Amino acid sequence: MNSQGKGDFASSDGRVSLAHGNGGRRMRQLIEELFVRHLGNALLDTDADAAALPPLPTGATPMITTDGFTVDPLEFPGGNIGSLAVHGTVNDLAVSGAEPLYLTLNCFLEEGLDLGLLDRLTASMAAAATEAGVKVVAGDTKVVRRGEGGGVYLATSGVGLRRAGLDLGLGRIAAGDHILVSGPVGDHGTAVLLARGQFGLRGDLVSDSASVLPVTRALVDVPGLRFMRDPTRGGLATVAHEIVRHTGMGIRLSEPAIPIRDQVRAVCEMLGYNPLYLASEGRVVAVVDPASAPAALAAMRGPGQSPDAVEIGTVGCEEPYVVLETEIGGERLIEELEADPLPRIC
């Protein structure tokens, strides 16, 4: 993050100014007195251009991911863009079977952003990183002119290790496999929508934004685990279509089995949304072989994990479509998402 020295980083009105991104004194002080104050650790060297990481254990596979976050509003019930950025990056590693270790952070700040808000977002990010056991080891800060951004955009990269012998991926999915989900879907997308106050709607729904590490750590010990994914943008339906595209096999989902909260269902019915397309930020979709499904469910429902985990469908129907078996015994196709019903939700 390239910083040295300390001082009063705040502008006269307590907001981000263009000077906070010009590489000079105010930028260095912002990094040192806000970001490092919350995110500092032994590996974060603000005088270096690259972080030196410890040697990797023999036999482990290094995994890396990257993501961007542009949520609107920046703070919502159950989280904010800071915690969301950590959870999203940690979860991408976790569902790949990796143990997350390190993050990098790029902050794009809009001129005029309240520094008190930025402090809260950074504190939330630090708390989420501590909970997940990851360290922010490098980063960068940029400031864009007023009106050219959404307050804060974050870009992250994450590094983790997958233990030797663990093999997960779409290519391992076979006909007859069972599909599980760790809890109700669509909470995050709906909570963000309600937080915007659009359409005159209000509610007390809380985003599911959280680390999924407790669930994935339990699942990787199930021998028949084939694949995991977190259903973020595009929701559960998009994960299902990803499986269909890669395997050429169809998927059958049971509508009565899919957990959806009443408030999510009500909002979707009023506004014409399908909850299967709405983002979840703290859920795991897992595919397991048939014999391992009971053990996988038990693992997901373990203490401190996801008691609402359920089986929702199977892989391998005759045609390469996503078929939903409805509440009344009929069937309908779930098409691939075309338009984004909720812009800037993750």
User: Helix, strand or coil for residue 84?
Assistant: helix
At which of 131, 162, 193 does a domain end? Answer: 162
Q: What gap in Å lies between CA 283 and CA 207, rounded to an integer?
A: 11
Instruction: Write out pLDDT tens, residues 1-37.
Output: 544 333 466 766 899 999 999 999 999 999 999 999 9
Q: What gap in Å lies between CA 109 and CA 142, rounded to an integer?
A: 6
314 and 186 part of one domain: yes
**Is 10 domain-assigned?**
no
317 and 177 part of one domain: yes
At which of 119, 141, 162 does a domain end? Answer: 162
Cβ atoms of 159 and 49 within 8 Å: the answer is no
203 and 154 part of one domain: no
Q: Which of 114, 90, 104, 112 is nearest to 141 (CA)?
A: 104
The angle subtended at Cα 163 by Cα 225 and Cα 185, nearest 5°, is 45
Number of separate domains in the chain: 2
At which of 162, 189, 213 does a domain end? Answer: 162
132 and 174 part of one domain: no
CATH classification of the domain holding 178: 3.90.650.10
Instruction: Write out pLDDT tens, residues 31-55.
Output: 999 999 999 999 999 989 999 999 8
Structural domain boundaries enclosing 317: 170-333
**Is 54 domain-assigned?**
no
127 and 41 part of one domain: yes
The per-residue pLDDT string of the chain (346 residues; one tens digit each, 9 = 90 and over) reads 544 333 466 766 899 999 999 999 999 999 999 999 999 999 999 989 999 999 888 889 999 999 999 999 999 999 999 999 999 999 999 999 999 999 999 999 999 999 999 999 999 999 999 999 999 999 999 999 999 999 999 999 999 999 999 999 999 999 999 999 999 999 999 999 999 887 777 788 999 999 999 999 999 999 999 999 999 999 999 999 999 999 999 999 999 999 999 999 999 999 889 999 999 999 999 999 999 999 999 999 998 889 999 999 999 977 899 999 998 989 999 999 887 666 667 7
Q: What gap in Å lies between CA 330 and CA 219, rounded to an integer?
A: 33
CATH classification of the domain holding 77: 3.30.1330.10
Q: What gap in Å lies between CA 170 and CA 148, rounded to an integer?
A: 39
**Is 31 domain-assigned?**
yes
28 and 117 part of one domain: yes
**Is 192 domain-assigned?**
yes
**Is 339 domain-assigned?**
no
Q: Which of 218, 242, 266, 198 is nearest to 337 (CA)?
A: 242
78 and 117 part of one domain: yes
230 and 108 part of one domain: no
Query: Residue 198: its pLDDT value, please?
Result: 75
**Is 345 domain-assigned?**
no
65 and 122 part of one domain: yes
Q: How many CA atoms, within 13 angstroms, populate the side-chain half-sphere of residue 21?
A: 19
In one-letter notation, the amino acid at residue 276 is L
Q: Which residue has the tokens 């096999």?
A: 249
215 and 326 part of one domain: yes
Query: Residue 196: its pLDDT value, please?
Result: 87
Q: Which of 159, 154, 156 is nearest to 94 (CA)?
A: 159
Q: How far apart are the first and last CA of the chain?
A: 24
**Is 23 domain-assigned?**
yes
156 and 183 part of one domain: no
**Is 22 domain-assigned?**
yes
230 and 256 part of one domain: yes
In this structure, the chain runs to a length of 346
Query: What pTM does this model have?
Result: 0.93
